[in-house]
Amino acid sequence: MKKFFDRGIFIKTLRELFYLNILLVFIGAVLVVLTRETAVHQMMGYAGRSISYNFAGGALIFVAILGGFALSATALSFTWNRKKADFEYALPVTKGALYASKALAVISSLAAVMAIITGLGFALSVKYLGRFVFVSDMLSDLLNSFIFALIIVGAVFLAASVTGKVLSAGILSIGIITIPLLLPVIRYYSMLRIAGFDDSMGQFILIRRSLYLPINLLLSQAPGINFNRYLGGILFSFFLAVAYLAFGYFLFKKRSGDLTGNHTNSKLLHYIIMALIPFAMLNIATISALDYKLEIIFRKTRYIYEMLTYIGASIILMFAYDLLVHRKLRPKNRIIWLFIPLALAAFLLNIGVQDLVLNEQEKDIPTENVKSVNIFSYDEVFSIVFVSNMMPYGYINASEVDITDEEIITELVSLYNERKDEDWGNYMPAFVKFNLKSGRSIYKWVFLDNDYDYPTDTFVGNTFTKIQQLPDYSEKFYDNISPNNVATVSNKEEIVNAKLEAELKEVYTVFDSEYDALPLEEKVMSVDMRGHMPTEWLLNKREVAVVGKLYVRGRVSGLDVVDTYFITFDYTPKAAISYMEAVNMMNFVDAETVIKGIEPGAMGNIRHLSLSFLNTEEPMEDAMVFNRKDDLEAKYFFRAIDALRENGLKEPKADSIILKLQYYDGNVGNYMDIYISVAEDEMNELIDIYNEWQESRE
Amino acid sequence: MIEIKNISKSFDEAKVLDDITCEVKQGTIFGIVGSNGAGKSTLLRVISGVYDPEAGSIAYNGTELDNKLINTPDILFLSDEIHYEPSETINNLSKRYKLFYNNFSDGKLNVLLEMFNLKRNTRIEKLSKGMKKQAVLSIALACQPEFLFLDETLDGLDPIMRINAKKMIFDEILERQMTVVIASHSLKELEDMCDNLAMLHEGKIVVQGNVDSLKGQLIKIRCAFEGSVAKEDFKDMEIYSIESNGKLYTIVASGDEEKIKAKISGMNPMYIEVLPVSVEETFVIRLQLAGYGSHMDWRSEK
C-alpha cells in the first residue's frame, strides 16, 4: 500500500477520462483550424497584437477552462455519486493516494491533450508562416495555458474535498478561482489610499498583468514570448495551483464518504458558497468597470446600470440556487446573507465610481496645470504607431519617463481637448497620463488625426517623433534587452544583436546572392529592402512578404528574454499580387477592389493615397500624396484613382515604371502597400493631376 | 480478525450507530440483521472505510483502520447498489477490480461465472437484478480479498443460485480463511450460513452471539390447562410471551428448559410440549422487546 500514489487509481482514472480527452483534442483541433485565419492575421502583425499569439493560443485557453472543469469533475464524480463513493472509498487505497492519483491522472490527461493541440497549432503555423514561428512561443503559451488549467483543477479538487454535490463544488470552485482576482483590486485600492499616491489606472494595468495569470489570459493576450513580463503572474499562478491542490489533499483526507450527496457538512461553508456567487460576479464586474476608464467616453449611468445588473443577477442566482438545491425559496434567510454581496457591491462601486467621477471632472485639461506627461498605450495602439520604427512594446518601460517638454505637453493637451469621439476610422488613439501640478494624475486617450498628424511615409506623428527623440524616453524604450547582451539597438531601422550577429551575416549573404540573381524590375522593387533586415522567412517565401518580425534575444535580470521588433518589407510586383491574395483570405480587400473600387461611397474610408515612383532615375518616395480631407482635395484624389483604375494591374515590363500605392483603409484599420506598373505616359498623367492639385492649393 | 469498538455515527441529528462493539474472527461469517434503517449498511460502510466513525475504533488484525489515512486492509465491499458504467461488461468490471486486488484470479472468475451461467462479455445493464448480484459476487470472490463485506448481496437470488453463492463463499473461507461480514434484513438468508450474528435496532446491537447459542437462549412450550390461567401464575418465570387459543397456551421464556418445564408441570397442565425455537423467532422476540413493533404488547397479551 502506498501512501501518496496508487497505480490502480491512476490507471482507472485515465481510462475514465479517455473518451473525454479524445473529445477535448477534437474540440481543440477544430478551434485551431477555425481560428487559423485570425492567427495568420495576428502573426502577420499588420493590425497589431502580433506578439505572443500562435495558432493554438485560443484553443489552449478554451481547452484549459473546459478540460480543467470537465476532467476534474469526471475524476471526482464519486464525491457526489453514492454508488461510486461506495466503490472508491472502500478500495484498499489510502485517501491521500486516492486524491493524489486522481489529480495526477487529470493533470497528465490535460498535459497530453494540450500538448497535442499545441503540436497541431505548431504544424499549422509552420504551414502558413514557415520558419517564422518560434518553438519558444508555442511552449510558452502551452505552459501558461497549462498552469491556468492547473488552477482550475486545483480549485475543483479543493471544492470537491469539502462538498458532496456537483452544483456546490462547481460554485465553490468558481469562487476559489475568482477570489484572487480581488488581489489586484485590493492592492490598487490600498495604493490609492497611500498619501500622495494617485497613480491609478496605469498601475492597475501593470498590476493586473503581473499578478494573476487568469487575468492575463482572460483579459489580455496570452503571454507568449513576453514571458519575462508575465513571469510574476505565472509563478504566482503556479504556486496558487499547487496550494489549492495541497490544501485539497489535506481536506480530502478528512473527508468522510457520507458527505457524498450532501452540499457540505458545515453551515458556515454553505454560506461561504452562497456568498461566493455574487462575489465572483461583482469581482469581474469591478475589473471591467475599472477598464472603463480606458474608454474615451465614460457614461456613468451605463456603468451604474451595469453594476446594478450584476447585483440583480447575483440575487437571482442566489434564489435560483435555492430553488434548484433546496427546492424552495428562503427569502428571510437570504436577506441576511444578501448584506454580504451588497456590502461588497458598495465597496467595489466606491472603488470604481470614485475614480471615474474624479477623472471625469476634468473634461478639458488646462495646459498650464500639467507638470509632465507619460505615454502609455493599450495593446495594439502603439504597435501600429511605432511599426515603422520597430519598437512596438517599449512603451511599457518608457511610460515611466516623465516628459516635461512644454511643446510636447501643449500638443498632447490640445490633441485631447480637440478630441473627436466619433469617426474612429480616421483617428488613432494613444493613452496618455497627464501629471498635474496639483499632484494628481489623470489618464486620457488622445486621438491623433491621421490626415494631419501622420506624415504618410512613417505613420508616426511629429509629436511622437519628438517624444522618441527624448534621450530618457529612448533609453527606457529599449530597456527590454539588457545593454550587456545587445550590441546596439536604435530606432534608425537597424537592430544588431550580438548573439544573432553571425546568424544575420549568414542571412545577409544568402539574401545578397539571391538579390543579385533577381531580374531588374524585382531588384528595383527590392531597393528599399536593403535598408531593412531580411529574415529567413522572407528568403524562403519571398512572394508573400508583408511585415517582418525580428526576434532579439538577450538576458534581463538573469532570465532569457526574447522580444520582437517589427520590420516592414516591401514587395516585388509579384509579391504585391500574392500578398493581396493572401490577405484577401483574411477578408481584406483584394488588389483589384482597391484599384477599381476606390470611389465615393464604395470605399468611403480610404482617406489618403500616396504614390511613389521607385524606378525612376531618382526614386521619388512620397512624390505625390492625395488626401480626401475635403471636397477640393477629394476631387484630385478621385481623379488620381480614376487614372489608376483605367490602367489596372499590369505585369511589369522592363521599361515599366513601378508605382507604389499606399493607402489607409479605415474599414479594416490597416495601411496597405501595393505595387502597380504604369507606362510613362500614365505616370505623366498622374503627375499632371498632382501638379494641378498643388497649384489649386496655392 | 476485525475488532469493532464503541463505534458511533450520526447523520445530521439522527444517531444511526450508537456505541457498537463486536468482534469478527478470522475465517468466519458474521451476519448483521436488522429492520430497515437499523444501521446495517452504515455499519458496513464504516468498517469498510467509506464513512468515518464519529467515535470508536476499528482494527483489522490488530491494526487500526485510522480513517484510511495510512493503511487500508485488503477489504472488498459490495454495497447493495453496485456501480457500473452504462456500457460496462462483466469483463470490464472485473478489470476495474483487478487493478486494486493483487490476488485477482481470472481462472477463479471463469469457474464462478460458469456456475452462475454468466458470460464475461455480457453487458451488466442487460442483466436482471439477481444476475447482477451473481456477477459482482463472482468478481468479488475472484479478487480473493482477506475481508469481504456484502450488503444484501444474497437477497433476491433464487434458491438454487443462493445455494451456489453460499457454496462459493464457504469454499473461499475453507480455502484461505477469508472473513465475511454480511448484512441482510432477512434472517432466513443468514441463519444457515453465519457463525455469528448481530441484530441491529435503531443503531444499537440488540443481540449478538454464536448462532447455535442464540437458538438455545429461548424456550417455547405449548401446553393446555383445564381451567383458566392468570398471568400472575407465571410470575416467577422469565416469560417473554404467552399466546392463548382456548385452553391451549404457547409460552416463550428464557432460562433452563428443565426447570421451566417442571414449573409448568406443577400447574397441572393437561398437555405439555417443548417446541423448537428458530433463530428468526429469537430475533423477532428480541426486536420486539427492544421496542420494534411495540404497538403489539406481547407480554401483556391474553
Q: What is the pLDDT of residues A647-695, one digit of tens each?
A: 544 444 455 555 555 554 444 334 444 455 566 676 677 677 777 777 7
**Pairing of β B204-210 and β B29-34:** unpaired
The reply to whether A186 touches chain B by the CB within 8 Å rule is no
**Which range is least confidently modeled, A14-23, A320-329, B251-260, B292-301?**
B292-301
How far, CA to CA in Å, does A229 sit from each of A190, A558, B103? 23, 13, 55
CA distance A217 to A65: 11
For residues A45-59, average pLDDT:
47
Residues of chain B with pLDDT under 50: 294-302
A3–B70: do the CB atoms touch at under 8 Å?
yes
Question: Min CA distance, B84 vs chain A (Å)?
Answer: 8
Torsion angle, CA of A144/A147/A148/A149, rounded to 10 degrees?
A: 120
Sequence-ordered list of residues with C-beta below 8 angstroms from that of A227, at least 6 positions apart, any chain: A136, A140, A234, A561, A562
Residues of A in contact with B9 (CB under 8 A): 258
Say whether both B173 and B253 belong to one domain: no
Considering the domain architecture, whether residues B162 and B50 belong to the same structural domain is answered as yes
CA distances from B65 to A315, A461, B20, B28 (A): 45, 77, 16, 20
Contact A339, A363 (CB under 8 A): no
What confidence score (pLDDT) does residue A293 get? Answer: 44
- Summarize the confidence of residues A112-123 as an average pLDDT: 89
List the one residue out of A294, A639, A554 whose CA is nearest residue A446. Answer: A294
Distance CA A643, CA A689 (A): 9
Q: Do A86 and B77 touch (CB under 8 A)?
A: yes
Q: Which of B11, B50, B71 sits opposite A86 (nearest CB)?
A: B50
Cβ neighbours around B93 below 10 Å, total: 20
Q: Please tell me the distance from the alpha carbon of residue B185 to that of residue B192, in angstroms, as a whole number.
A: 14
List CB contacts (< 8 A) between A94 and chain B.
68-72
User: Cβ contact (<8 Å) for A81 and B83?
Assistant: yes
Largest Cα span, chain B: 72
- Shared domain check, B177 and B30: yes
Q: Which residues of A touch B75 (CB under 8 A)?
A: 90, 92
State whether B72 and A258 contact (CB < 8 Å): no
- Which grid coordinates belong to A52? 505572443
Nearest to A256 among B48, B51, B99 (CB): B51
- On whether any CB of chain B is under 8 Å from the CB of A95, the answer is yes
Enter the C-alpha cell of residue A697.
Answer: 492649393
What pLDDT is recorded for position B233?
76
Would you call A87 an interface residue with chain B, using a CB distance cutoff of 8 Å?
Answer: yes
B99, part of any domain? yes
The mean pLDDT value for A122-147 works out to: 69
Give the gap in angstroms from C-alpha B85 to the nearest C-alpha of chain A. Answer: 10
Residue B301 lies in a domain: no
Beta-carbon separation of B75 and A92 below 8 A: yes
B83 CB neighbours in chain A (<8 A) are: 81, 83-84, 86-87
Q: Would you state the pLDDT for residue A43?
A: 42
If asked whether residues B121 and B27 sit together in one domain, one would say yes
- Looking up cell 495555458 gives A145
Q: What is the pLDDT of residues A412-438, one digit of tens each?
A: 888 777 654 444 445 556 677 788 887
- Inspect the interface and report whether the beta carbons of B68 and A81 lie closer than 8 Å: no
- Is the pLDDT at A367 greater than 70? The verdict is yes
- The three-class DSSP label of residue A163 is strand
pLDDT-derived band at A275, boundaries 50, 70, 90: low
User: Which range (A126-140, A512-526, B210-224) has the least confidence?
Assistant: A512-526
ipTM above 0.90, yes or no: no
φ and ψ at A449, to 5 degrees?
-75, 120
B194 and B46 both lie in a single domain: yes
CB contact under 8 A, B45 and A256: no
Per-domain residue ranges of chain A: 7-265, 367-477, 488-568, 573-697
Minimal CA–CA distance to A567: which of A327, A385, A391?
Answer: A391
What span, in angstroms and rounded, lies between the C-alpha atoms of A158 and A176?
A: 9
- For the cut 50, the answer to whether the pLDDT of residue A545 exceeds it is no
* Whether B72 and A93 lie within 8 Å, measured CB to CB: yes
Grouping H, G, I as helix, E, B as strand and the rest as coil, residue A567 is strand
Distance of CA B154 to the CA centre of its chain: 11
Closest residue by Cα to residue B195 from B6, B28, B71, B49 = B28
A-B Cβ pairs (cutoff 8 Å, strict): 82
DSSP string, chain B: -EEEEEEEEEETTEEEEEEEEEEE-TT-EEEEEESTTSSHHHHHHHHHTSS--SEEEEEETTEE-GGGSS---SEEEE-SS----TT-BHHHHHHHHHTT-TT--HHHHHHHHHHTT--TT-BGGGS-HHHHHHHHHHHHHHH--SEEEEES-STT--HHHHHHHHHHHHHHHHHH--EEEEEES-HHHHHTT-SEEEEEETTEEEEEEEHHHHHTTEEEEEEE-SS---GGGGTTS-EEEEEEETTEEEEEEES-HHHHHHHHHTT--SEEEEE---HHHHHHHHHHHTTTTTTS-TTT--
Q: Name, in order, each residue with C-beta under 8 angstroms of A115's C-beta and a sequence gap of 6 or more.
A: A142
Q: Is the pLDDT of residue A385 over 90?
A: no
Task: Using an 8 Å CB-CB cutoff, list chain A residues near B183.
Answer: none
Q: How far is CA A649 from CA A272, A575, A577, A590, in A?
A: 69, 13, 9, 12
Bridge partners of A549?
A566
Cell of residue A538, nine digits: 522572407
Average pLDDT over residues A547-558: 32
* A526 vs A301 pLDDT, higher one: A301
Residue B285 lies in a domain: no
Q: Is the pLDDT of residue A323 over 60?
A: yes
Sign of CA dihedral B249, B252, B258, B259: negative
Q: What is the pLDDT averaged over residues A43-67?
A: 60
SS3 readout for A455-511: CCCCCCCHHHHHHHHCHHHHHHHCCCCCCCCCCEECCCCCEECHHHHHHHHHHHHHH
Residue of B15, B68, B149 to mutate, testing the A interface (most A Cβ within 10 Å of its Cβ): B68
Residue-averaged pLDDT of chain A: 62
Residue B284 lies in a domain: no
- Domain-located, residue B302: no
How many other CB atoms sit within 10 Å of the CB of residue B156? 16
Range with the poorest average pLDDT among A204-213, A335-344, A513-522:
A204-213
3-class state of residue A278 by DSSP: helix
Closest CB to A91 among B52, B81, B100: B100
State pLDDT tens for residues A283-295: 555 555 554 444 4
Contact indicator for A137, A225 with CB cutoff of 8 Å: yes
Please state, as a whole number, how many other Cβ atoms lie within 10 Å of the Cβ of residue B55. 13
- Show residues of chain B in contact with A92, CB under 8 Å: 72-75, 100-101, 145
pLDDT at residue A389 is higher than 60: no
**Model confidence pLDDT, tens digit, residues A89-102:** 888 888 999 999 99
Q: Which three cell numbers stand for residue A12?
A: 482507472
B193 lies in the same domain as B227: no
Nearest CA in chain A to B41: A86
Maximum pairwise Cα distance, chain A? 95
Task: Say if CB A203 and CB A188 are below 8 A apart.
Answer: yes
Whether residue B242 is found in the same domain as residue B206: no
* Residue at B286 is within a domain: no
Intra-chain end-to-end CA distance of chain A, in Å? 94
Q: CA A632 to CA A639: how far, in whole Å? A: 11
The predicted pLDDT at position A106 comes to 97
Asked if B223 and B208 sit in the same domain, the reply is no
| pLDDT of the residue at A374 | 83
> Out of A11, A87, A258, whose CB is closest to B83?
A87
Query: A210-256: per-residue pLDDT in tens?
Result: 455 555 555 444 444 455 556 667 787 888 899 999 999 999 988 88
Give A596-626 pLDDT, tens digit per residue. 333 333 333 344 455 555 444 444 444 456 5
Among residues A310, A289, A269, A13, the alpha carbon closest in space to that of A159 is found at A269
Residue A515's closest CA among A492, A547, A538? A538
Tell me what pLDDT residue B69 has. Answer: 61
Q: How far apart are CA B228 and CA B247, in angstroms?
A: 7
Instruction: Identify whether residues B104 and B181 lie together within a single domain.
Output: yes
Q: Decide: A386 and A568 in contact? Cβ < 8 Å.
A: no
Which residue range is the domain that position B233 belongs to?
217-276
Nearest to A257 among B50, B69, B73 (CB): B50
| Residue A549's pLDDT band (cuts 50, 70, 90) | very low
Instruction: Please determine, for residue A189, whether its predicted confidence score (pLDDT) is greater than 60.
Output: no
Given a contact cutoff of 8 angstroms between Cβ atoms, the answer to whether A250 and A145 are in contact is: no
**Total tally of structural domains belonging to chain B:** 2
What is the rounded distance in angstroms from the CA atom of residue A122 to the CA atom of residue A134?
9
Q: Distance (Å, rounded) from C-alpha A286 to C-alpha A381?
A: 24
Highest mean pLDDT among A105-109, A589-593, A617-621 belongs to A105-109
Query: For residue B119, what is the domain's CATH number?
Result: 3.40.50.300
- Please report, in angstroms and rounded to a whole number, the separation of the first and last CA atoms in chain B: 46
CA A195 to CA A174: how far, in whole Å? Answer: 35
Give the three cell numbers for residue A558.
538573469
Instruction: Quote the CA–CA distance of B51 and B108 in Å, as a whole number.
Output: 31
B-chain residues near A93 (CB < 8 A): 68, 72, 100
Interface of B with A (CB under 8 A): 9, 11, 45, 48-52, 67-77, 79, 81-83, 96, 99-101, 145, 149
pTM of this prediction?
0.62
User: CATH number, domain at B223?
Assistant: 3.30.70
Mutate to test the interface with B, among A1, A102, A258 (most CBs of B within 10 A): A258
8 A C-beta contact, residue A205 and residue A287: no
* CA–CA dist A143, A114 (Å, integer): 9
Give A-chain residues touching B82 at CB under 8 angstroms.
83
Is there a single domain that holds both residue B262 and residue B208? no
